[in-house]
């Protein structure tokens, strides 16, 4: 089979401090769809063009941040294989029972060297993308706000960077697509398990387990403009954009949810294959690597995580 | 590893009746780049955002059509595995020596039940995409015409449709993404070895081994308009478009090269994963399936192959 | 003052055979907004980015077609001046009392040589564009369907073409921007009272007083695609498009309202000034003039009027 | 006639300190076309979709800035009428002989209260837009860089703001379209002689005769992105963007020519008519008025003029 192992980012569980504000933000402003709530007060959301029941879980908390990010693997055998890989790498894993998240099968949970919690699962209830599988229209009506298409990736700040990248590339079979280097030191690593420019990315940091942003796909640069307009119209705190990244070529805009978790919506980044060369950006050129047009790093963008 | 086996359509070898007219068409009008010529009079072309030395081979001939379509596999072991799979399926294979096509490694060649010749290879010389791997710009200057990004897929008309699809899905590990059905009969099958809506597609036909079109990716719907303008400005015979497909959602335009081989350029079709549902279009709705806006089949589009 | 006399197409009164179907079409599918109804059963509509109370009047009738098209003039003096001009041209005029159309001032009504009824008025109630005049957002929320921005122009088929164009250019001060000619015969004339490529256009015909289409502006080529999708999703009868015109360069799509009146939505046509050269298209090239990509005239497009 | 008096911004004469660097910037990077040079060392440029011989004059100098901005009026009578209007306003005028600028007719020159020099002229040699007037294509091939369509407007910083706006609206028949106000004080005025959101704009300042930027039209938001990419690829000093203005709704990016004159390229701002309401932005909301997304004024944008 052509795609094996880890298929995609499956969901991100975000801590939010005011659930109804958060639901308004993610649903009314960004266009996600609420699909369920549970006894822990968690709210389950999906983007319209995802088949699975949820890709974002909002968890009530007294602080912002990422509880965990989960990847969907292709088969149950993949799940046990990765569990074994992670253990062999020297990291403890824990099994979380099917149903602990509504509609999700058994999960393998572990803490990566970066300080972040990750999970893997092979099964999640499919609810469809709002279009029939027989003679579907190209898009459903009544999607709100920015009309986010799918949860796409996270960028994370964490410790023990090199060991962490080794975990992802050796035990979890991700591939390095792009990187920022400062001499011999890899400052940032963009990793893919597909033909996307990134399914996850890590920045070398001195603080463990931080979320820089959770990112969602839009349909075009015109839709990035529309998202930018909505950000101002709805008084959403903008961070940076609209602009293009040097890294991945994506057209992007960054802003914050009401709890201070950074979101990105973006369009049209580049594609790659396993035999594509790794692209490298020098730390001396990091401004252009990150914001291709302004070439200026922004304090809020570099310094604020959740 | 996440992507295994067949990675992508690697190249298509097209027969053309006037080489210089063909080179003008593919290079000046569509934006491909000539990378080599050989003793057989073949001309090697690549799209700008491909790493490999070529993705289109133009072969001098007295008739139009597709000599063969080739897929790049990830490893040499994959090559031998697929050779064995194809043989076990009951189809003879032949090894073509490395270097028979300039810069291409050893190829496995076979004729599919549809009547088309396919090849697999694991190695091809990489020449890069015209951008450095250190601090690359998002696009190179001086790309001509339609600025085709990559060779994307072929749509083929052939015989013995069901057996052919079985070869591709069982022996070659493609996955069915979308189909047109007429009652119990599958009229068209769209197959993917990646997250693309199709890497190859087949139409049930009574004539073996026909090319409907070779397709190339553009960057946006605005670039499809620009391609449409160029088609008229350059007196390129238009077939259909610009429009959207129901199948795959792609925005598209079709036209013919000077020998009568149909080309497509398109943008932004949908993505899928191995666990995405198969989408089905009914023959009674085939007009909308193919041309979502007009819902009208066009005689030239349905009837002309090369 | 820089703009004098006739400012713009002010409204078109269309005959429709089923009012509720028509309102659904123009409001739900195209995004116009209902602003009033009157004792004659007429329904008043406006596009979102128009200041005036209405730009389309739907009139209940047993046949389709255009009752009249009206132009807004800058001042009351302009109104009397044009009344005099039209009379001096040898055409009877009639004054229609203020309020005969809700919110519209006194109108001058006359039948042009082409057989169409036109009106001029200097006053119409302004209701705004749904945005405040203090710190306005770039667009209002909750606009439906195609999000038509404004009523832009009509294209009309009529008799006595040359005399008709003389009326519009001499008495009404329109300027010829583009034309189709067949030898010495002007087949089509595009006329502007602004910097637009056309505010009205006429086709030489043997039948008087026919409407070819009423046209509405969209924001971009991406919005033309979206309109095309909606046309298919809502089972609206498509005529032609999406494509580009040679004449005016506009990106366009044509379809019919439920009564058979043809509509156009389009984006981004060219601009002109009074000192721009007239552009001429030869009848031998009329296909490309009208549909720049296909170069093919379509029977329904050429033959059907209302 | 529908458009009278001042038709459009006809040209801007900019002082540059290194002519060949300036020509590279305006021609190779922005896509203007050199049409002439004169004995004073001045270089004449036009954008591709302008009919007149030039819209930018580069003048060799030891400092940056705007020598003058000129408007084309419709007729010679308009020229004498405006000359009289300006004199009656109490401002001296001077006639500059036809041919002093190559291909330009007699000009009326005066210094406005703001401290800027303006000129009016009724005649300029037309060289066409590179397309035939018979069966023209929608765009010419071989336009370079950003492919600027036309010189569109200037924004100027000057003194004696209220008197200056009175000159433009009373003597020159411009109309106020949008403004920024701080209590009773008008901080910025956007003025139109057409259906454009602005043909010129003024900012109240304490220094006379300063250029904030000369602005050029692009075809779409996608072309603004492409301009942004070129800015970074060509090491052009970026000021701000890509983003949208609140004022005029335009999608925009700002940067500097090699002498430090600020340029803007933008797309798709709003349209207006003489009876459109004036839009007002409050000084307390000036950030959003200027940069709709970030709402942040940028020091370089506010403080740097030439």
Number of domains in chain A: 2
Q: What ipTM did this prediction achieve?
A: 0.96
Q: Annotated catalytic, D245?
A: yes
pLDDT in tens, C6-18: 999 999 999 999 9
Residues C207 and C250 in one domain: yes
What are the backbone dihedrals phi and psi of residue C85, each rounded to the nearest 5 degrees, phi first?
-55, -45
- According to the model, what pLDDT value does residue A269 have? 79
In this structure, is residue A117 part of a structural domain?
Answer: yes
How many other CB atoms are there within 10 angstroms of residue D137's CB atom? 18
- According to the model, what pLDDT value does residue C1 have? 58
Average pLDDT of chain C is 97
Please state, in angstroms and rounded to a whole number, the distance separating the CA atoms of residues B252 and B270: 13
Identify which of D157, D131, D136, D249 has the alpha carbon closest to the alpha carbon of residue D197: D249
pTM of the model: 0.97
Q: Looking at A103, A121, A139, which one is the last position of a domain? A: A121
Q: Which two tokens stand for residue A210?
A: 């931080």
- According to the model, what pLDDT value does residue B1 have? 58
Residues B283 and B214 in one domain: yes
- According to the model, what pLDDT value does residue B303 have? 85
Residues A155 and A117 in one domain: no
| Contacts with A138 from chain C: Cβ below 8 Å | 229
- According to the model, what pLDDT value does residue A1 have? 58
In this structure, is residue A139 part of a structural domain?
Answer: no
Range of the domain at A221: 150-303
Average pLDDT of chain D is 97
- According to the model, what pLDDT value does residue A257 have? 98
Please report which helix (H) or strand (E) contains residue A157, including its range: strand A150-158
Please state, in angstroms and rounded to a whole number, the distance separating the CA atoms of residues C286 and B271: 40
In this structure, is residue C132 part of a structural domain?
Answer: no
- Band (pLDDT 50/70/90 cuts) for residue C300 is confident
Is the pLDDT reported for residue C2 higher than 80?
no
Residues A293 and A172 in one domain: yes
CATH of the domain at A240: 3.10.180.10
The Cα angle at residue C293 between residues C289 and C299, in degrees rounded to 5 = 70
| DSSP-assigned beta bridge partners for residue A108 | A95, A120
What's the gap between Cα C119 and its chain centre?
A: 13
> For residues B224 and C288, is the Cβ–Cβ distance under 8 A?
no
- According to the model, what pLDDT value does residue B291 have? 94
Residues B270 and B155 in one domain: yes
Identify which of A127, A97, A121 has the alpha carbon closest to the alpha carbon of residue A36: A127
User: Do B293 and C228 lie within an 8 Å CB cutoff?
Assistant: yes
- According to the model, what pLDDT value does residue A76 have? 97
Q: What are the average pLDDT values for consecutive 10-residue runs of chain A, which has 306 residues?
A: 89 98 98 98 98 98 98 97 98 98 98 98 98 98 97 98 98 98 97 97 97 98 98 97 97 98 94 97 95 90 89
Residues C182 and C273 in one domain: yes
In this structure, is residue A190 part of a structural domain?
Answer: yes
Please state, in angstroms and rounded to a whole number, the distance separating the CA atoms of residues A70 and A108: 9
| Candidates C25, C68, C198, C212; catalytic one | C198
In angstroms, the separation between the Cα of residue D219 and the nearest Cα of chain A is 13
What is the signed CA dihedral for A198, A203, A209, A211, rounded to 10 degrees?
-60
- Residues near B172 by beta carbon (within 8 Å), at least 6 away in sequence: B5, B6, B71, B82, B85, B86, B193
Residues C297 and C248 in one domain: yes
User: Do A1 and B5 lie within an 8 Å CB cutoff?
Assistant: yes
Please state, in angstroms and rounded to a whole number, the distance separating the CA atoms of residues C255 and C78: 35
In this structure, is residue C225 part of a structural domain?
Answer: yes
> For residues D153 and D199, is the Cβ–Cβ distance under 8 A?
yes
- According to the model, what pLDDT value does residue A299 have? 86
Backbone CA torsion sign across B295, B296, B300, B305: positive
pLDDT in tens, C98-154: 999 999 999 999 999 999 999 999 999 999 999 999 999 999 999 999 999 999 999
User: Do B137 and D222 lie within an 8 Å CB cutoff?
Assistant: no
Residues B90 and B180 in one domain: no
Catalytic residue numbers of A read 153, 198, 213, 245, 254, 264
Question: Can you point out the beta strands (E) in chain D?
Answer: 6-16, 33-37, 43-46, 56-60, 65-73, 94-96, 107-111, 117-121, 150-158, 175-182, 185-192, 200-204, 210-217, 238-244, 251-256, 262-267, 279-282
| Contacts with D241 from chain A: Cβ below 8 Å | 293
| Candidates B59, B175, B178, B264; catalytic one | B264
For helices C221-233 and B221-233, the axis angle rounded to 10 degrees is 100
Is the pLDDT reported for residue D1 higher than 70?
no
Closest CA in chain A for residue C219: A222
| Contacts with A128 from chain B: Cβ below 8 Å | 277
Picking from C137, C141, C233, the nearest residue to A137 by CB comes out as C233
Picking from B138, B141, B222, the nearest residue to D222 by CB comes out as B222
Picking from D221, D231, D232, the nearest residue to A225 by CB comes out as D221
Per-residue pLDDT of chain B (306 residues; tens, 9 = 90+): 578 899 999 999 999 999 999 999 999 999 999 999 999 999 999 999 999 999 999 999 999 999 999 999 999 999 999 999 999 999 999 999 999 999 999 999 999 999 999 999 999 999 999 999 999 999 999 999 999 999 999 999 999 999 999 999 999 999 999 999 999 999 999 999 999 999 999 999 999 999 999 999 999 999 999 999 999 999 999 999 999 999 999 999 999 999 999 999 999 879 999 999 999 999 999 999 999 999 988 888 888 899
Residues C90 and C200 in one domain: no
| Candidates C11, C25, C68, C153; catalytic one | C153
Please state, in angstroms and rounded to a whole number, the distance separating the CA atoms of residues D164 and D166: 5
| DSSP-assigned beta bridge partners for residue C134 | D280
Q: Annotated catalytic, B245?
A: yes
Cβ neighbourhood burial of B297 (10 Å; 0-12, 13-18, 19+) = middle
Q: Which two tokens stand for residue C54?
A: 């209405």
In angstroms, the separation between the Cα of residue C117 and the nearest Cα of chain B is 33
Residues C168 and C297 in one domain: yes
> For residues D65 and D12, is the Cβ–Cβ distance under 8 A?
no
In this structure, is residue D111 part of a structural domain?
Answer: yes
User: Do C277 and D128 lie within an 8 Å CB cutoff?
Assistant: yes
Residues B154 and B299 in one domain: yes
In this structure, is residue B92 part of a structural domain?
Answer: yes
Residues D31 and D113 in one domain: yes
More confident residue, A52 or C297: A52
In this structure, is residue C265 part of a structural domain?
Answer: yes
Picking from D4, D246, D277, the nearest residue to C4 by CB comes out as D4
């Amino acid at each position: 089979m052509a795609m094996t192992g880890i298929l995609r980012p499956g969901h991100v569980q975000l801590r939010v401090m005011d659930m109804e504000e958060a639901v308004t933000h993610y649903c009314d402003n960004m266009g996600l769809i609420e699909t369920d709530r549970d006894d822990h007060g968690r709210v389950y959301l999906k983007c319209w063009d995802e088949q699975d029941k949820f890709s974002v879980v909002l968890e009530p908390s007294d602080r912002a941040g990422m509880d965990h990010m989960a990847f969907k693997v292709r088969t149950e055998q993949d799940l046990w294989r990765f569990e074994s890989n992670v253990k062999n790498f020297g990291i403890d894993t824990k099994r979380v029972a099917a149903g602990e998240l509504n509609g999700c099968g058994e999960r393998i949970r572990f803490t990566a060297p970066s300080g972040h919690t990750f999970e893997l699962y092979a099964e999640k209830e499919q609810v469809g993308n709002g279009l029939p599988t027989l003679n579907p229209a190209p898009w459903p009506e009544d999607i709100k706000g920015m009309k986010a298409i799918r949860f796409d990736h996270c960028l994370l700040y964490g410790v023990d960077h090199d060991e962490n990248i080794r975990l992802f590339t050796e035990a979890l079979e991700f591939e390095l697509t792009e990187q920022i280097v400062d001499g011999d030191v890899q400052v940032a690593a963009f990793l893919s398990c597909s033909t996307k420019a990134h399914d996850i990315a890590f920045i070398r940091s001195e603080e463990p387990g931080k979320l820089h942003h959770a990112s969602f796909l839009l349909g075009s640069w015109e839709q990035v403009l529309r998202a930018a307009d909505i950000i101002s119209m709805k008084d959403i705190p903008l961070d940076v954009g609209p602009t293009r990244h040097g890294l991945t070529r994506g057209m992007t805009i960054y802003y914050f949810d009401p709890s201070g978790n950074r979101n990105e919506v973006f369009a049209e980044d580049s594609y790659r294959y396993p035999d594509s060369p790794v692209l490298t950006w020098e730390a001396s050129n990091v401004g252009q690597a990150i914001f291709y047009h302004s070439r200026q790093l922004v304090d809020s963008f570099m310094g604020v995580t959740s």
